[in-house]
């Protein structure tokens, strides 16, 4: 028995080193083009060692991969908006593959390997970042927010003239279609992919919003490519967004799960096991895309904590408000998974300077909902309901200097009937003042026999015209 054990150990000692140096095969190569970078993904049969470096005159990228054999053509990597103009392959010795990418401009390469997951095997990822001029000016579609200076004390009151409507800015909505590129998101019956469905809904929502004067929608992801979660909010911020809306169509462990949901960020954890499961699933998409985590531990903890807490409180309150309006409108055209806005630790919602919501348009894992989500009519209806909720929120809370604020202050903004979810500390008189109604009108619309309100109670707010005070 002892001799057999020794022989088994000897075999392991011989086989493991051979496996470590076994030749890996490159079975396929995929290219994803984003507005400012190009991603190459090499699908491998095993782990590899590699190096990437640049050469100039002419510009080119050199990728050396040890113990690798190329089994797929690379002809599909050129053309379109890709900076790659030509691909050449060769060998550096008997055990090293060399791939040379000729490029039309200088690019900054970054590379990393990924271990297998549920969707892919071993991968080598090479990102080619475009070299943009450092003095690039903002485009006409990118509003630059001017800081609001405190008023200067004066003995004489200032006479302010009202600016014409043509000088007022748009309310900007950043629409984030979840997942993309290397990360397909959830996959439903028949192979329907979340990344494709949500991009179509996002584009339809953009079209509807842009058709309304005073609003402008900007897509965070315009086609099929991956964007790290933190980068998504950075893009929204650079576009001057007043609201960040992330569109998803997730899956659940049970195929019977159904209904739309709206999420805002939770500062104390998820409000349900479903919310926690979904949040963990979304946050893991950065691992699928290969972005990894971002460290913020170089900031002063006390200062960062105070500033974030102050800003996040206001942002979260607005997120819950707009989220409830969106959810109420969605409930008119599709079943709801939960009737209240849920809260969870979605990384994509962690922006302290703008309201942010995540809209789950349905469970793509449910056969019935999956079929509906794939139709243009249902996508249009979903977009219309989200648009209605956004419009209602900004008509009641227009950003200063916007065209919508000008309409309100001019007494030209008619607001239709809407709902209000009672929060702690609110009263009939306070809500009547907020919505520019009399307490009697609010009582009559809700058949209230007293002024007592309960937290979570839904009140019907009658139509009115909001005018500046």
Question: In this structure, are residues 40 and 125 in contact, taking their beta carbons and an 8 Å threshold?
Answer: yes
Q: Is 404 exposed, middle or buried (0-12, 13-18, 19+ CB in 10 A)?
A: buried
Boundaries of CATH 2.60.40.3500 in the chain?
A: 18-130
Where along the chain do the CATH 3.40.630.40 domains lie?
A: 167-290+302-396
What is the pLDDT at residue 43?
94
Q: Return the pLDDT at 166.
A: 62
The sign of the torsion formed by the CA atoms of 336, 341, 342, 348 equals positive
**What averages of pLDDT result for each successive group of 10 residues across the chain (469 residues)?**
55 47 86 91 95 94 94 85 91 88 93 87 93 48 37 37 67 96 91 96 97 96 92 92 95 88 77 60 62 41 48 77 95 92 85 87 95 96 96 92 90 73 84 83 90 87 61
- Give SS3 for 86: strand
CATH of the domain spanning 413-466, picked from 3.30.300.30, 3.100.10.20, 3.10.350.10, 2.40.30.10: 3.10.350.10
What is the structure's pLDDT at 353?
A: 72
Query: Domain 18-130 has what CATH class?
Result: mainly beta
CA gap 74, 30 in Å, rounded: 9
Please say whether the beta carbons of 402 and 278 come within 8 A: no
Q: Token digits for 322?
A: 């707009």
Q: Where in the chain is the domain with CATH 3.10.350.10?
A: 413-466
User: CATH topology for 167-290+302-396?
Assistant: Aminopeptidase (3.40.630)
Burial degree of 107 (CB within 10 A; 0-12, 13-18, 19+): buried
């Amino acid at each position: 028995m002892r001799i057999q054990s020794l022989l088994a150990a000897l075999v392991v000692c011989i086989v493991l080193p051979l496996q470590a140096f076994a030749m890996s095969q490159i079975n396929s190569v995929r290219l994803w083009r984003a507005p400012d970078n190009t991603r190459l993904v090499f699908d491998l049969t095993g782990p590899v060692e590699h190096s990437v470096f640049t050469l100039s005159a002419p510009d080119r990228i050199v990728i050396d991969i040890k113990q690798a054999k190329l089994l797929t053509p690379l002809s599909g990597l050129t053309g379109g908006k890709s900076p790659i103009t030509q691909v050449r392959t060769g060998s550096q010795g008997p055990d090293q593959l060399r791939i040379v990418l000729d490029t039309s401009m200088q690019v900054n390469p970054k590379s990393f390997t990924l271990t297998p997951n549920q969707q892919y095997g071993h991968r080598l990822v090479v990102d080619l970042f475009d070299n943009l001029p450092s003095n690039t000016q903002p485009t006409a579609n990118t509003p630059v927010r001017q800081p609001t200076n405190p008023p200067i004390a004066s003995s004489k009151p200032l006479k302010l003239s009202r600016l014409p409507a043509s000088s007022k800015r748009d309310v900007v909505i950043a629409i984030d279609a979840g997942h993309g590129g290397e990360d397909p998101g959830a996959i439903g019956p028949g192979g329907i992919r979340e990344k494709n469905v949500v991009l179509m809904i996002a584009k339809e929502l953009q079209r509807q919003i842009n058709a309304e004067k005073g609003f402008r929608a900007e897509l965070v992801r315009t086609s099929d490519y991956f964007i790290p979660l933190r980068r998504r909010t950075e893009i929204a911020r650079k576009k001057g967004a007043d609201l960040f809306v992330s569109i998803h169509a997730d899956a659940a462990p049970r195929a019977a799960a159904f209904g739309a949901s709206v999420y805002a960020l939770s500062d104390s954890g998820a409000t349900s096991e479903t919310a926690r499961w979904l949040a963990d699933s979304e946050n893991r998409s950065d691992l699928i895309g290969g972005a990894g985590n971002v460290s913020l531990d170089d900031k002063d903890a006390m200062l960062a904590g105070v500033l974030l807490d102050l800003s996040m409180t206001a942002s979260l309150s607005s997120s819950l408000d707009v989220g409830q309006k969106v959810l109420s409108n969605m409930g008119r055209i599709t079943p709801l998974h939960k009737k209240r806005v849920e809260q969870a630790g979605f990384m994509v919602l962690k922006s302290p300077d703008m309201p942010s919501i995540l809209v789950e348009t349905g469970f793509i894992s449910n056969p019935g909902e999956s079929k509906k989500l794939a139709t243009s009519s249902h996508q249009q209806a979903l977009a219309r309901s989200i648009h209605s909720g956004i419009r209602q929120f900004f008509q009641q809370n227009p950003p200063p200097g916007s065209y919508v604020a000008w309409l309100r202050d001019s007494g030209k903004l008619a607001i239709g009937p809407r709902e209000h979810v009672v929060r702690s500390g609110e009263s009939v008189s306070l809500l009547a003042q907020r919505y520019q109604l009399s307490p009697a009108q609010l009582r009559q619309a809700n058949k209230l026999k007293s002024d007592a309100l309960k937290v979570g109670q839904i009140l019907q707010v009658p139509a009115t015209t909001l005018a500046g005070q």
